Amino acid sequence: MDLAFMEEERTFRDEVRQLLRDNIPLETRRKLVEGRQLSKAEIAVGMRVLHKRGVPGWPKEYGGAGWSPIQQYIFEEEVQAFPAQMTFGFGASLVGPVIYTFGSEIQKNRFLPRIVNAEDWWCQGFSEPGAGSDLASIKTRAVQDGDHYVVNGQKTWTTGAQHADWIFCLVRTNTSVKKQEGISFLLIDMNTPGLVIRPVKLIDGSYEVNEVFFTDVRVPVVNLVGEENKGWTYAKFLLGNERFGDAGVGPTKERIQRAKDLAAQCYVGGSWLIDQTAFREKVAAIEVELKAIEITQLRAVFNASRRQDGSQDPAGSVLKLKGSEIEQAAALLLMDVIGPYSLREYSEQPTDSADQRLVRPDGARLAAPIYFFSRAATIYSGSSEIQKNIIARAILGL
Ligand SMILES: Cc1cc2nc3c(=O)[nH]c(=O)nc-3n(C[C@H](O)[C@H](O)[C@H](O)COP(=O)(O)OP(=O)(O)OC[C@H]3O[C@@H](n4cnc5c(N)ncnc54)[C@H](O)[C@@H]3O)c2cc1C
């Protein structure tokens, strides 16, 4: 089933396509197609293009695009399809909305324009050893000393901390109340003395996550967001936004298409893989699931456009749960198709060899890293089990 947009939505889509074609550097696009990493400078340039008409999802007064949820959806879809998907840390997507919703005027003036212009890279300091799913158990302590908080403790799994200028942290400011009621939300300059980053190497070979240690780190009290001990409310708001953006339909579509293109180049067991029934059944099963999640996402977008109270849709958990599972299925499909071609006996370029089947299809080497990284999709932004708990409570009323 093809879903049709209204005339003005189609016009908007054409404008977005034009914006990307005219402004995203060719080299950036090529690297994204090939699954190669962009430099921080390339990402900043790309982010400025994506923010040219304002930050999607933000209100106009803070430098946002002021778009409807449907326009945002179309924008995201085009960005993923181009592809021009990039994130300059977690500024625009996560901490920005917290600052303009709960922050002080000083914080709004200081931080929001720098996020819009991709000048500050932010990272997320929520998880700790012993506090992931059970986030309210965080132990990193902030004790007020005059006009500063003194922070001691450790964060873990901090994505992009090595590039970040700022980290937004959940810290414990009261130990004698219920754990959710003693948490505050602090903005911390990564260059503050006493803050140390240690890299964590992932199984796909990438260096993306870190441990972050705080020893007597002094943070001005003006960097407290909202009220002291109300950080859990702001964290829940932030996590709801994070899950809503996590269905990953665009990248999964691209991955399935790539698996199909590659299957057309793979000759196995006497026929082209793309023509084999077992392979076609596998692809169809994933595509049906993907279409279902796409429709669910559109339904959530439509509901969001009618939602006036700013409350969050628990459908975000359904999108995260199913989206991450389908992402993994697509990564496995890609691995099934070209995994064997990553072996050394396959050459990158066509040779004079009589057996052309020994030529490595484009991108074969990337299949394993993509597969390994996809294993994390059902863990980060709240694991699948946690999403099921939320769905049971908020949707099924159990
Ligand atoms: C690649 C990657 C990047 C990340 N980036 C960041 C980041 O930038 N910033 C940040 O703060 N965090 C980040 N995280 C951390 C992520 O949010 C946590 O890993 C996640 O919340 C799970 O927490 P945990 O690792 O402590 O596992 P645990 O909470 O210890 O869970 C272990 C297992 O037990 C299950 N489980 C736990 N509680 C329940 C329950 N109540 N009911 C049923 N099952 C349960 C979980 O589903 C899981 O399978 C990242 C993680 C990864 C893998």
Shared domain for 157 and 217, answered yes or no, is: yes
pLDDT digits (tens, 9 = 90+) for 175-214: 999 999 999 999 999 999 999 999 999 888 888 999 999 9
> What is the model's pLDDT at position 2?
55
Shared domain for 72 and 140, answered yes or no, is: no
- Tokens 């499909």: give the residue: 333
Shared domain for 265 and 312, answered yes or no, is: yes
Which entry of 242, 254, 294, 327 is annotated as an active-site residue? 242
In a domain, 238, yes or no: no
Shared domain for 268 and 385, answered yes or no, is: yes
Residue 379 Cβ contacting ligand 1 at under 6 Å: yes
Query: Which residues make Cβ contacts (< 8 Å) with residue 174, sequence separation at least 6?
Result: 181, 182, 228, 229
Shared domain for 388 and 313, answered yes or no, is: yes
Would you put residue 146 in left (φ > 0), alpha (ψ -120 to 50) or beta?
left
What confidence tier does 266 reach under pLDDT thresholds 50, 70, 90? confident
* CA-closest candidate to residue 282, choices 332, 247, 238: 332
Burial (0-12, 13-18, 19+ Cβ within 10 Å), 385: exposed
Residue with CA at minimum distance from ligand 1 atom 45 = 385
In a domain, 22, yes or no: yes
State the average pLDDT for the chain.
90
pLDDT digits (tens, 9 = 90+) for 94-109: 999 999 999 999 999 9
Shared domain for 330 and 387, answered yes or no, is: yes
Shared domain for 212 and 348, answered yes or no, is: no
Q: Interior CA angle at 113 toward 111 and 119, to 5°?
A: 80
CATH of the domain at 272: 1.20.140.10
Residue 206 Cβ contacting ligand 1 at under 6 Å: no
* CA-closest candidate to residue 151, choices 213, 59, 222: 213
Concerning whether 242 is annotated as a catalytic residue, the answer is: yes
Peptide bond into 83 cis (omega under 30): yes
Q: Which residue among 186, 204, 229 closes a domain? A: 229
**CA of 303: how far to CAs of 32, 309, 310, 316, in Å?**
32, 12, 12, 12
Shared domain for 253 and 390, answered yes or no, is: yes
Distance in Å, CA 4 to ligand 1 centroid: 38
Both tokens assigned to 220: 């001005």
Residue spans of alpha helices (H) in 51-136: 69-81, 96-102, 105-116
Residue-number span of the structural domain to which 75 is assigned: 7-86
In a domain, 198, yes or no: yes
Cα separation, 370 vs 35, in Å, equals 9
Lowest-pLDDT choice from 45-54, 145-154, 163-172, 290-299 = 290-299
Number of domain units in the chain: 3
Shared domain for 59 and 127, answered yes or no, is: no
From 383, 384, 385, 386, mutation site for ligand 1 pocket: most ligand atoms within 8 A of C-beta: 383
Query: Which residues make Cβ contacts (< 8 Å) with residue 96, sequence separation at least 6?
Result: 55, 58, 62, 111, 112, 115
In a domain, 341, yes or no: yes
Shared domain for 276 and 346, answered yes or no, is: yes
3-class SS at 387? helix
Segment 47-55 mean pLDDT: 96
Residue 385 Cβ contacting ligand 1 at under 6 Å: yes
Length of the chain: 398
pLDDT digits (tens, 9 = 90+) for 62-83: 999 999 888 998 999 899 889 9
From 126, 133, 373, mutation site for ligand 1 pocket: most ligand atoms within 8 A of C-beta: 133
In a domain, 80, yes or no: yes
pLDDT digits (tens, 9 = 90+) for 358-393: 556 666 677 888 889 899 999 998 899 999 999 999
Cα separation, 113 vs 108, in Å, equals 8
Distance in Å, CA 185 to ligand 1 centroid: 20
In a domain, 104, yes or no: no
Shared domain for 299 and 211, answered yes or no, is: no
Q: Which residue among 178, 194, 229 closes a domain? A: 229
pTM of the entire structure? 0.90
Q: Which residue among 41, 59, 86 closes a domain? A: 86
Segment 42-67 mean pLDDT: 95
Atom of ligand 1 nearest to the CA of 123: 8
In a domain, 146, yes or no: yes
Residue with CA at minimum distance from ligand 1 atom 38 = 133
- The neighbour count for residue 321, using CB atoms within 10 Å, is 24
CATH of the domain at 167: 2.40.110.10
> What is the model's pLDDT at position 245?
61
> What is the model's pLDDT at position 3?
65
In a domain, 41, yes or no: yes
pLDDT for 351 beyond 70: no
Cβ pair 266, 243 in contact under 8 A: no
Shared domain for 391 and 258, answered yes or no, is: yes
Distance in Å, CA 373 to ligand 1 centroid: 15
